[in-house]
Amino acid sequence: MTDWTPHTARAKTWFESLRDRICAEFEAIEAEAGSAARFDYKSWSREEEGNPDPGGGTQGLMKGKVFEKVGVNVSTVHGTFAPQFAPSVNGASADQPGFTATGISLVAHMANPHVPAVHMNTRFLTTTKAWFGGGGDLNPPIPYEEDTADFHAAYQAACDAHDPEYYPKFKAWADEYFYIPHRGVHRGVGGIFYDHLECADDAGFEANFAFTRDVGEAFLASFPMLVRRRMGMPFTPADKAQQLEWRGRYAEFNLVYDRGTLFGLKTGGNIDAILMSLPPEATWS
């Protein structure tokens, strides 16, 4: 069996470097808007009985003039799944419940309703198998076709550089996943979503790691551009009301259907980091 420890360390280093670059870019946008807002970082440690090295992570949170609330989290955790949860995870079972997971997770809720909210995460997990997953999706309260097209184009370019079948497959997966059945609507205008991109050996790891890095680069190349495009637009009370109602739908999805939320809660993650995806304000009619 492959020892994935050095691979996990490499992925962790990349996720941390991506976090640093994203946070620097978001702080630069705040500065351009005349705001002194900066990220506040808090470290946390996971606890698991009988586990001397359960890991932990760092939660970065900023509340500013442009980013009403943005969280960028990186974590690396090790341990065992609860027996009743293990069979639902790729490569794990009640008999072999051990896992390692490292990844970055980001959610941004914007002050101006013309600026889209966004979600992005990428991760590397090992059980008896090893795989990458992640993606990114755009969540505008007031959609603009130009923004949707530019966001998707960035992800399509990242996908096409690795496999021409990736973009249509992962776009369809995002459309299916980010859907709110009880409302009959999608959470946003989509993006890409992939999971269980398995690494059978070192070569598989290198190929999937390169793709996952390009997914992160695509986010960094596209989303700040959209923020700068829309952040100075005037908005009305009706626009803000539309944003707050849409945020309620976003919260419903994350609390009822999101697998990442469930994974964090089932593995003893940091509650504040897990629920940082929830908007600072929302309304329900």
Q: Which of 119, 162, 186, 196 is catalytic?
A: 119
Task: Retrieve residue 93's tokens.
Answer: 């079972």
Cβ count within 10 A of residue 259: 11
Distance (Å, rounded) from C-alpha 24 to C-alpha 35?
A: 14
Distance (Å, rounded) from C-alpha 221 to C-alpha 280?
A: 26
Q: Which of 263, 93, 109 is nearest to 195 (CA)?
A: 263
Q: Is residue 119 flagged as an active site residue?
A: yes
- Alpha carbon separation from 127 to 47, 59, 85, 95, 234 (Å, rounded): 19, 25, 13, 12, 49
Q: Tell me how many degrees the CA angle 157-190-118 measures, rounded to the nearest 5.
A: 90
Please list the active-site residues: 119
